[in-house]
Amino acid sequence: MEKPGGPASAPGPLAGVRVIELGSMYAAPTAGRMLRDFGADVVKVEDPAAGDFARQWQPAHEGLAIGFSRLNSGKRSVGVDLRQPAGRDLVKRLARGADVVIENFRPGRMESWGMGYKELSKDNPGLVLTRVSGFGQTGPYSGRPGFGTVAETASGYAFLNGWPDTPPTAPPFGFADSIAGISAAFGTAMALYRRAAGGAGAAGGEVDIALYEPLMFILGDAVLRYTSSGEIMQRHGNASGAASPRGIYEAADGGWLSIAASNQTIAMRLFDAMGRPDLKTDDRYATNTARMANNAALQEIVVGWVRTRPRDEVLAILDEHEVVAAAVNDSRDISRDPHFTERTLVGLANTVLGPAARMPGPILHMDGYAGPSYDGVPEVGEHTREILGRDLGLSAAELARLAADGVISGAAE
């Protein structure tokens, strides 16, 4: 299969889908990027003065926010002030010709602007309205504001992340937002499929994503364990609490690697790789139940073995014995790894980030579709004239008047 962003291939599966992105910051723009990655035309509506606040994020390179670039390359930007009735009217008109609108305002805001699903779908019943919020559109907490950090704590993730003797720990990146954005794109695709399956005139519908729900789902059995047995799952550090041996280990040269002997066959292969076939018949380590009961002692054995060799040598031995293992990579490791550079990393064209800049491309691969090109990060309102003039038929005089009133930006010749 061709690398994403490589030679031209068949159009993406979402080619012809028009998305109006009203989202800002992280989660909703992630959903927009997921859809754009597979062929959708994503029109990003931004505040005409400041744009998406993510443009101000750090770190930045020559004034261009790196995080904003990753999520918004290849989208088209229209500067419209949604606080003004004239601005909301423009977006409603754009929505008439759209397949999807993505928004991440606090529940009730869109309705207060006359832009809820009922209003937007009146002239476009096939519209899909994808809504991302902290706690969802329903429930006692629906009106609360919410960012990723709140979702990471409310979902139970932070409680389980870390070591038994350290405080609950949130991740140093937009974990909840990313998971919610990917889930929102998945929900949007399902809604589009349902619409297509329904035939001509089928309704689009609403997709309701709470930041915490996808994250709560990936916590595994934590909630089910408590509700069925009364046991509250605790922090285990690098251990899984379900299988042994598993963890992150330091090699002789200071390099780190992971080993996941999470089933019986792999555990037995690990013992062979370590030159310890005697462990396979030792009652303390012969089964996963026994290994979990004696996990501390077994971990000491594995730690001791890994520390006898440089990381590359350990990994080579484990690979020879088909033990599941990998280096603990930092960003430099990833950018130099031949597997990731061939399959996963893509470049951003036409930015001040430079020709060597790379980022992760689409999160999955589809036969016959090489993926998009990431052809530049739009300036605020860069495509206002193009989209409002061509799609809505606004004249130069009308665009000039709206710009003079502060309703739009980027409309100058």
- What pLDDT is recorded for position 348? 86
Query: What does the block give as tokens for 135?
Result: 């706690």
Question: Considering only CA atoms, which of 52, 78, 87, 77 is closest in space to residue 67?
Answer: 52
Using one digit for the tens of pLDDT, what is the confidence trace for 91-134? 999 999 999 999 999 999 999 999 999 999 999 999 999 999 99
- The fraction of the chain above a pLDDT of 70, given in percent, is 97
The SS3 of residue 1 is coil
* Distance between CA atoms of residues 58 and 251, nearest Å: 34
Amino acid residing at 232: I
Per residue in 153-212, pLDDT tens? 999 999 999 999 999 999 999 999 999 999 999 999 999 999 999 988 899 999 999 999
Superfamily of domain 18-218+344-409: Crotonobetainyl-coa:carnitine coa-transferase; domain 1 (3.40.50.10540)
With a cut of 60, say whether residue 355 has pLDDT above it. Answer: yes
pLDDT of residue 3 exceeding 80, the answer is no
pLDDT digits (tens, 9 = 90+) for 270-290: 999 999 999 999 999 999 999
Q: So what's the pLDDT on residue 393?
A: 95
Q: Give tens-digit pLDDT for 228-255.
A: 999 999 998 887 778 899 999 999 999 9
Return the sign of the alpha-carbon dihedral for residues 30, 36, 40, 43: positive
Q: How many Å separate Cα 1 from the centre of its chain?
A: 23
Neighbouring residues of 316: CB distance < 8 A, sequence distance ≥ 6: none
Q: Are 104 and 132 in contact (CB under 8 A)?
A: yes
pLDDT value for 127? 98
Asked if 7 and 370 touch (Cβ cutoff 8 Å), the reply is: yes
Contacts (Cβ under 8 Å, ≥6 apart) of 143: 106, 107, 108
Q: Hey, what are 254's tokens? A: 């200071």
Q: Residue 232's CB: how many other CB atoms inside 10 A?
A: 11
Closest-CA residue to 35 (of 175, 184, 176, 179): 184
Strands 41-46 and 76-80: parallel
Which pLDDT value is given to residue 411? 64
Burial of 178 (0-12, 13-18, 19+ CB in 10 A): buried
Q: CB 331: neighbour CB atoms within 10 A? A: 8
- d(C-alpha 204, C-alpha 190), whole Å: 10
> What is the amino acid identity at position 356?
A
Burial of 347 (0-12, 13-18, 19+ CB in 10 A): middle
Active-site residue (options: 99, 177, 221, 375): 177
Per DSSP, which regions of 238-301 are E strands? 246-250, 256-260
Per the annotation, the verdict on 177 as an active-site residue is: yes
CATH 3.30.1540.10 is the classification of domain 246-334: yes
Q: Are 392 and 90 in contact (CB under 8 A)?
A: yes
* Residue intervals in the chain for CATH 3.30.1540.10: 246-334
Tokens 């251990």 belong to: 239
pTM for the predicted model, two decimal places: 0.91
In sequence order, the 6+-apart residues with CB closer than 8 A to the CB of 329 are 337
Of 96, 86, 103, give the one whose Cα is nearest residue 44. Answer: 103
d(Cα 327, Cα 345) in Å, to the nearest integer?
Answer: 18
Q: Does residue 369 surpass a pLDDT of 90?
A: yes
- Say if residues 264 and 287 touch (Cβ distance below 8 Å): yes
CA distance 143 to 315: 50
| pLDDT score of 236 | 85
Distance between CA 248 and CA 239 in Å, rounded? 8
CATH 3.40.50.10540 domain position(s) in the chain: 18-218+344-409
Look at residue 7 and tell me whether its pLDDT is greater than 60.
no
Query: 413: buried, middle or exposed (CB in 10 Å: 19+, 13-18, 0-12)?
Result: exposed
Provide the 8-state DSSP code for 112.
H
Contacts of 105 (CB under 8 A, 6+ apart): 22, 133
Confidence of residue 1 (pLDDT cuts 50, 70, 90): very low
pLDDT attached to residue 36: 97
Dist CA 45 CA 82 (whole Å): 9
What integer pLDDT is reported at residue 413 of this predicted model? Answer: 58
At 19, is the secondary structure helix, strand, or coil?
Answer: strand
Closest CA to 301 of 285, 289, 320: 285
